[in-house]
Amino acid sequence: MTKIIVSGFSISLDGYGAGINQSLINPIGENGTGLHNWLRATQMFHKMIGKEGGLEGIDNDYAIQSMAECGAFIMGRNMFTPERGEWSDSEWRGWWGDNPPYHAPTFILTHYPRAPIEMEGGTTFYFISDGIISALEKAKALSNGKNVKIAGGVSTVRQYLQAGLVDELHLAISPVFLGSGEEMFNDINIPALGFVVAKRDITENATHIILRK
Amino acid sequence: MTKIIVSGFSISLDGYGAGINQSLINPIGENGTGLHNWLRATQMFHKMIGKEGGLEGIDNDYAIQSMAECGAFIMGRNMFTPERGEWSDSEWRGWWGDNPPYHAPTFILTHYPRAPIEMEGGTTFYFISDGIISALEKAKALSNGKNVKIAGGVSTVRQYLQAGLVDELHLAISPVFLGSGEEMFNDINIPALGFVVAKRDITENATHIILRK
């Protein structure tokens, strides 16, 4: 059964999922990279960027799980590019090089239509300009019966949550304060959406929270 | 040296320090009591309410520490009473019975002046209607060289934080979501205020965060 999931999604202790002023050198916004310290330390992440080493253990298990069983991905355009407005840089094909870590159809929400981009390793970027429901239907249709992951960023996750379309969340709360940025929970009522804390795992680098309905 | 501290202050995973609709039967607002599960389980809390038993360990150590070395307390009026507006119930002397757990001068911020109330066990409630700086000066003067604790609620803690008057915080993040209530961090920039995470301790019932400058 296809589940709609959010997984490996990092937030700060003060509830921000990204810093302010996203840019080419600060893809997660200013001071945002600390959010992913738990992930960057893992063996999974090391492998993903072609490096040796990295930590095994709970964080690594969650990191692996966060990309497993996903047949399609949905992300907001700001997760794909620092550019805003009309597409001007036709060479930009995401932050991830020729072989992105998705290895599956990946749907990018945007107000500006664009032709799909087929990457190496099974990732194809589709640009969806007719809304989150349309993106979800297309993602489900191409997910091969596996899960559809709402990859981010904060605004995209919030939109799918507010529409009641998310079945399960794994949040990784990093032991950092950002002070400003994109707020995760403002006007998102987790209990009213029917979620309960199903599991909680704690490491030096994160508190992992599993929310299920 | 007198430090201005916030200690044993509970917040939810979604950043609320209290639920909505505080009332006589919901002193911490609706669904707010889950915030203090870590505290209510401790031996310290059991002793405080005259009961046997309770857990020892990390939560208990923090609970004890949260009331130790405090020579004076400051709280918002909503922490003292569910009543709003002019004082109408002259019999109301707080939630805590004849012998409140403060055992020290306790300053209550209010827009409505009222004569002090001397309780058993060393607690005297003073009602301060000329602002947070005035309350802090009076609390310092009567703190006997010990710490002044900003006891709560959320609004009061936020006011002292925003004024740059807090030296140290101990936050206890409970593994619950409230969904709505009084937001702790909205417009409070912890890094910009100069705080760093000095310590982090994790138990089944809470994540304890010590913030120092």
- For residues A211 and A171, is the Cβ–Cβ distance under 8 A? yes
The total of structural domains in chain B comes to: 1
Q: What is the pLDDT of residue B175?
A: 93
- For residues B159 and B74, is the Cβ–Cβ distance under 8 A? no
Q: What is the pLDDT of residue A32?
A: 81
Is residue A23 a part of any domain in this protein? no
Q: State yes or no: cis peptide before B153, omega within 30 of 0.
A: yes
Q: For residue B191, give the nearest of A175, A177, A188 by CB distance.
A: A177
- Quick one: angle between helices B154-162 and B132-141, nearest 10? 90
- Prediction pTM value: 0.90
Q: What is the pLDDT of residue B206?
A: 95
- For residues B94 and B173, is the Cβ–Cβ distance under 8 A? no
- For residues B17 and B6, is the Cβ–Cβ distance under 8 A? no
Is residue B46 a part of any domain in this protein? yes
**Residue B67 CB neighbour total at 10 angstroms:** 18
Q: For residue B191, give the nearest of A179, A200, A211 by CB distance.
A: A179
Is residue A54 a part of any domain in this protein? yes
Is residue A131 a part of any domain in this protein? yes
Q: Which of B37, B185, B210 to mutate to test the interface with A (most CBs of A within 10 A)?
A: B185
Q: What is the pLDDT of residue B38?
A: 96
Give pLDDT tens digits along chain A (213 positions): 899 999 999 999 999 999 888 777 777 888 787 899 999 999 999 999 899 999 999 999 999 999 999 999 999 999 999 889 999 988 899 999 999 999 999 999 999 999 999 999 999 999 999 999 999 999 999 999 999 999 999 999 999 999 999 999 999 999 999 999 999 999 999 999 999 999 999 899 999 999 999
**Residue A123 CB neighbour total at 10 angstroms:** 21
CA-based nearest residue to B10, from B180, B190, B152, B197:
B152
Helix (H, G, I), strand (E, B) or coil at A122: helix
| CATH number of the domain within which B109 lies | 3.40.430.10
Is residue A91 a part of any domain in this protein? no
Q: For residue A15, give the nearest of B14, B179, B207 by CB distance.
A: B14
Task: Please say whether the dihedral angle defined by the alpha carbons of residues A32, A34, A39 and A42, taken in this order, is positive or negative.
Answer: positive
Is residue A199 a part of any domain in this protein? yes
- For residues B183 and B154, is the Cβ–Cβ distance under 8 A? yes
Query: B56: domain range?
Result: 4-18+28-83+98-212
Q: Does the distance separating the beta carbons of A179 and B192 come in below 8 Å?
A: yes
Q: What is the pLDDT of residue A132?
A: 98
Q: How many angstroms separate the Cα of B191 from the Cα of each of A27, B73, B156, B162, B200?
A: 20, 25, 19, 12, 16
Task: Please say whether the dihedral angle defined by the alpha carbons of residues A101, A25, A76 and A16, taken in this order, is positive or negative.
Answer: positive
Regions in chain B scoring below 50 on pLDDT: none
Is residue A164 a part of any domain in this protein? yes
Helix (H, G, I), strand (E, B) or coil at B9: strand
- For residues B68 and B62, is the Cβ–Cβ distance under 8 A? no
Chain A residues in contact with chain B using a Cβ-Cβ cutoff of 8 Å: 13-15, 31, 173, 175-180, 183-186, 188-192, 195, 197, 200, 202, 207, 209, 211
Is residue B23 a part of any domain in this protein? no
